[in-house]
Amino acid sequence: MKTKIISGILIPTIAIIMYLLGNSWVEVIPLDFVENEKINHLIKFQSFGLILSFITLSLTLHIAPKSKKFLKFGNLSELSQPVKILGINANDSWYKTGLSFLVVITASTALFMYLSLGKSASWDGLIPLLPYVLIFSLTNSFNEEIITRFAVVGLLDGYLKPLKIMWSAALIFGLIHYFGQPGGPIGVLMAGFLGWLMAKSIIETEGIGVAWVVHFFQDVVIYSFLLISIWK
């Protein structure tokens, strides 16, 4: 049992470290997809992330075959375990809980990003950048959900209580965002809360649907601000 718990923490941790290091590793790849240097870098980094996430996915399924039960959208009619401080009541289904947090978290992310990058943003350039925004949001949310959520929940399920799994996911997802967007201490807290909530959704619905959708919308906001700030 201890070996399973250690591997459940070690494998996602190693994958996350590699994911973070990949940001600098891909700089040596001599491929140019677009003229913009920063967007070209993001294309290479997201491609690296996809390779790493599929390796992590395969390794998780090999070590914990039962984790495949989480590789579906999930049952949103399942009731959320109540958390009064967050306004989650005993009779709330994940349809209601997921939608509520989708709206609140997306709005909070948009406000944070506006305060951080709003002044340097050029909204006239958003339309031609939308394909990049959507593709990067889709791949990044998938990569991070597999590495920081699915692997953690899938490997630790049955060996730790759900609450401990949720806090493990919160810690992992929060810390990797210190140097990300949103970043710094506030970014760690925001990402940590999202990690905790999304792990809760995966465990209770037995699927990654809510987590991936909510994460995707956060990334749409983040990449919209990020790309219009660097596009020339």
Question: How many helices (H) and strands (E) would you count in the chain?
Answer: 8, 0
Check residue 186 and give its pLDDT: 80
> For the whole model, what pTM was predicted?
0.90
Domain boundaries, position 201: 2-230
| pLDDT at 205 > cutoff 90 | yes
| Furthest-apart CA atoms within the chain: distance in Å | 55
Check residue 206 and give its pLDDT: 96
Check residue 218 and give its pLDDT: 92
Quote the CA–CA distance of 210 and 18 in Å, as a whole number.
26
Give Cβ neighbours of residue 79 (< 8 Å, ≥ 6 apart): 90, 91, 92, 93, 94, 204
Contact at 8 Å (CB) between 154 and 70?
Answer: yes
Instruction: Give one DSSP letter per residue of 162-174, joined into a string.
Output: HHHHHHHHHHHHH
Tens digits of residue pLDDT in 89-121: 989 999 999 999 999 999 988 998 888 776 766
Contact at 8 Å (CB) between 199 and 210?
Answer: no
Quote the CA–CA distance of 175 and 166 in Å, as a whole number.
14
Match 């209770």 to its residue by tokens: 204
Contact at 8 Å (CB) between 187 and 212?
Answer: no
Check residue 182 and give its pLDDT: 64
How many structural domains are present in the chain? Answer: 1
Tens digits of residue pLDDT in 83-94: 988 899 989 999
